[in-house]
Amino acid sequence: DVLDPERLVQCPYNKHHRIRACRFPYHLVKCRKSYPEVAKGLATCPFNARHLVPQAALGDHIANCNDRAFLEQDTVNESSGTQREGTNTVSTWKAPPCDEDWET
């Protein structure tokens, strides 16, 4: 299950590292500092920063990335207005008339 926070994910910097998905972003930051030479050869996916692939394979990854579908669906929803319906409405509420005069 891709959404399971306890599933193990393989580190792109060191193939022997297996990290729980919920800790993976923190591990990436730490491991990037430990393996700067490996980091130079990896590129970050524009759809998911957790996807680090060899720079030569980035084009193939972008074409086949599962997260691309989510981003494209969000873009379609925004352009068709289905996601933002009702958020740009202007309130027509007006304060009721007040007979009190606080100055007197």
Query: Average per-residue pLDDT in the chain?
Result: 85
Helix (H) or strand (E) holding 10: strand 8-10
* pLDDT per residue as tens digits for the range 49-96: 999 999 999 999 999 998 887 766 666 667 666 555 555 667 787 878
According to the model, what pLDDT value does residue 18 have?
97
The whole-model pTM stands at 0.64
Taking 70 as the threshold, does the pLDDT of residue 14 lie above it? yes
According to the model, what pLDDT value does residue 63 have?
92
* pLDDT per residue as tens digits for the range 2-12: 789 999 999 99
What is the spatial distance between Cα 60 and Cα 104, in angstroms, rounded to a whole number? 77
DSSP structure class, residue 94:
-
The tokens describing 38, both together, are: 């490996």
End-to-end CA, the chain = 70
The tokens describing 21, both together, are: 């998905």
Q: How many CB atoms lie within 10 A of CB 58?
A: 18
Domain ranges of the chain: 8-70
The band of 38, judged by pLDDT with boundaries at 50, 70 and 90, is very high
Give me the DSSP letters along 14-80: -TT-EEEGGGHHHHHHHHHHH-HHHHHTEEE-SS-TT-EEEGGGHHHHHHH-HHHHHHHHHHHHHHH
